[in-house]
């Protein structure tokens, strides 16, 4: 099956500095892929190469099977939503929305009017056609820029951190709306963000980028539960990373000796050898706290250092007798332990993953 967008060995170099370093991505029609990473990781550079606003140093871009590496942006069948919306300030909302249609040769006023009305009703902004962008709120401007991009029915829609100028609450609401809209209209999209929560909720696939390379490309669930590298484990969600040495490899799982002498079992997606020094990821929600008098097996002694009530969970910071600090999240009903209490810690064995 040919993919809707393919990036092949894409490189962008600036005077000896590789902003993007041999990136390979393939996505199918209707899928939403996020490029996620810290600032300077090359995610925006990659997006701009897909848009044609930058020319790659090496490699190729294919859109629906056609090589578009050398094509200027105005000949690619794409649309883009910008961080600052980039609505033309001298045009009314209507002028902004039909701009792309006019460039595609549609001149009939009736068709233009009808399409604009349709798309504005999809983004729930009826009746603002005659306003200027400056007369709209940030959220409304964001919807207009979404409508302006969507109305041309592009082969792919590009998003450059489109929610970072909205306030927190609106951001959470809008990202769900954007996802529903893209899914409903079966639009293929590339979404650039540095906000991992946003990436997790909005995408089918996430490519975590670091220093111009893709660290891991996987579904949000896989990325969270089976991160391949320490960087990914640390970047997505909260992570406890424990250093250890591989002791024994059996089918599906490995035994790892933590540097404090505790032997733990864990799953391992990566290729490893006995004697390798690796990190084990334990998510805070996969650690349980027991009263100090418990006699269940696999319990480790620890002391509570911090206790933060966050509403749906209580986040603890505990320190094992061996000196390792752990973060764990406990349901408030079971959050009996107070600061400086002695407790016993249990790791959820099925959820310990060897990374990097």
Interacting residue ranges for other proteins, rule: CB under 8 A = 51-53, 72-74, 76, 78-80, 82-84, 86-90, 99-100, 103-104, 132, 134, 148-149, 152, 158
Task: Give the residue with the Cβ less far from other proteins, 152 or 182.
Answer: 152
CB of 130 to other proteins, least distance (A): 15
Specify whether the CB–CB gap between 35 and 189 falls below 8 A: no
Q: Which residues contact 350 (CB under 8 A, 6 or more apart)?
A: 267
Beta carbon of residue 111, minimum distance to other proteins (angstroms, whole number): 16
State how beta strands 277-282 and 314-320 pair: unpaired
Select 91 or 172, whichever has its Cβ closest to other proteins. Answer: 91
Q: How far apart are CA 179 and CA 185, in angstroms?
A: 10
Bridge partners of 211? none
Cβ proximity to other proteins, 111 vs 263, nearer residue: 111
In the complex with other proteins, the residue whose CB is nearer, 192 or 246, is 192
Helix H, strand E, coil C: the string for 145-172 is HHHHHHCCCCCEEEEECCCCCCCHHHHH
| Minimum separation from the CB atom of position 81 to other proteins (A) | 9
User: How far, in Å, CA of 244 to CA of 246, rounded?
Assistant: 7
CB of 139 to other proteins, least distance (A): 19
Q: Which is nearer to other proteins, 112 or 172 (CB)?
A: 112
Let me know if 252 is exposed, middle or buried by CB neighbors in 10 A (0-12, 13-18, 19+).
Answer: exposed
Residue with Cβ nearer other proteins (160 or 329):
160
Between 51 and 202, name the residue whose CB sits nearer to other proteins. 51
Residue with Cβ nearer other proteins (87 or 345): 87
Angle between helices 138-150 and 109-122 (to 10 degrees): 130
Query: Please, what is the minimum distance in Å from the beta carbon of residue 48 to other proteins?
Result: 8
CA separation for the pair 161, 198 (Å, rounded): 10
Partners of residue 314 on adjacent β-strands: 309, 330
Q: Which is nearer to other proteins, 155 or 283 (CB)?
A: 155
CB of 125 to other proteins, least distance (A): 18
Give the span between the Cα atoms of 195 and 227, in whole angstroms: 17
- In the complex, the smallest distance separating the C-beta of residue 126 from other proteins, rounded to whole angstroms, is 22
Angle separating helix axes 93-103 and 109-122, nearest 10 degrees? 120
Q: What distance in Å separates the CA atoms of residue 151 and residue 265, rounded to the nearest whole number?
A: 53
Q: How far is the CB of 50 from other proteins (least distance, A)?
A: 10
Closest CA to 119 of 99, 144, 95, 136: 144
Our separate counts of H helices and E strands in the chain read 8, 20
Smallest gap from Cβ 347 to other proteins, in A, equals 48
Is residue 83 within 8 A of residue 162, CB to CB? The reply is yes
């Amino acid at each position: 099956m040919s993919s809707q967008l393919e990036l092949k060995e894409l490189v962008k170099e600036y005077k000896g500095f590789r902003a993007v370093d041999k990136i390979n991505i393939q996505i199918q029609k209707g899928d939403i892929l996020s490029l996620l990473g810290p600032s300077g990781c090359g995610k925006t550079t990659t997006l701009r190469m897909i848009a044609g606003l930058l020319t790659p140093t090496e490699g190729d871009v294919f859109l629906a099977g056609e090589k578009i590496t050398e094509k200027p942006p105005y000949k690619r069948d794409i649309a883009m939503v910008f961080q600052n919306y980039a609505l033309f300030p001298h045009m009314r909302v209507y002028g902004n929305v039909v701009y792309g249609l006019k460039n595609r040769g549609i001149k009939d006023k009736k068709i233009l009017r009808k399409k604009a009305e349709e798309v504005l009703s999809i983004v729930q902004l009826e009746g603002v056609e005659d306003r200027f962008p400056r007369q709209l709120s940030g959220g409304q401007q964001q919807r207009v820029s979404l409508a302006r991009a969507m109305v041309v029915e592009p082969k792919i829609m590009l998003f450059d951190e489109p929610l970072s100028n909205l306030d927190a609450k609106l951001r959470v609401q809008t990202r769900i709306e954007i996802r529903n809209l893209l899914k409903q209209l079966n639009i293929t999209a590339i979404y650039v963000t540095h906000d991992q929560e946003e990436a997790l909720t909005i995408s089918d696939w996430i490519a975590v980028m670091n220093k111009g390379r893709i660290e891991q490309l996987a579904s949000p669930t896989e990325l969270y539960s089976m991160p391949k590298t320490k960087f990914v484990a640390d970047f997505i969600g909260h992570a406890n990373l424990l250093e250890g040495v591989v002791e024994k490899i059996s089918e599906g799982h490995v035994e790892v000796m933590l540097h404090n002498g505790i032997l733990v079992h864990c799953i391992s997606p990566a290729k490893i050898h006995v004697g390798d020094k690796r990190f084990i990821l334990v998510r805070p929600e996969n650690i349980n706290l027991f009263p100090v008098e418990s006699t269940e097996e696999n319990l480790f002694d620890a002391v509570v250092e911090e206790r933060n009530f966050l509403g749906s969970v209580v986040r603890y910071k505990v320190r094992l007798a061996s000196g390792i600090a752990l973060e764990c999240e406990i349901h408030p009903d079971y959050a009996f332990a107070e600061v400086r209490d002695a407790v016993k810690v249990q790791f959820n064995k099925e959820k310990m993953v060897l990374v990097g």
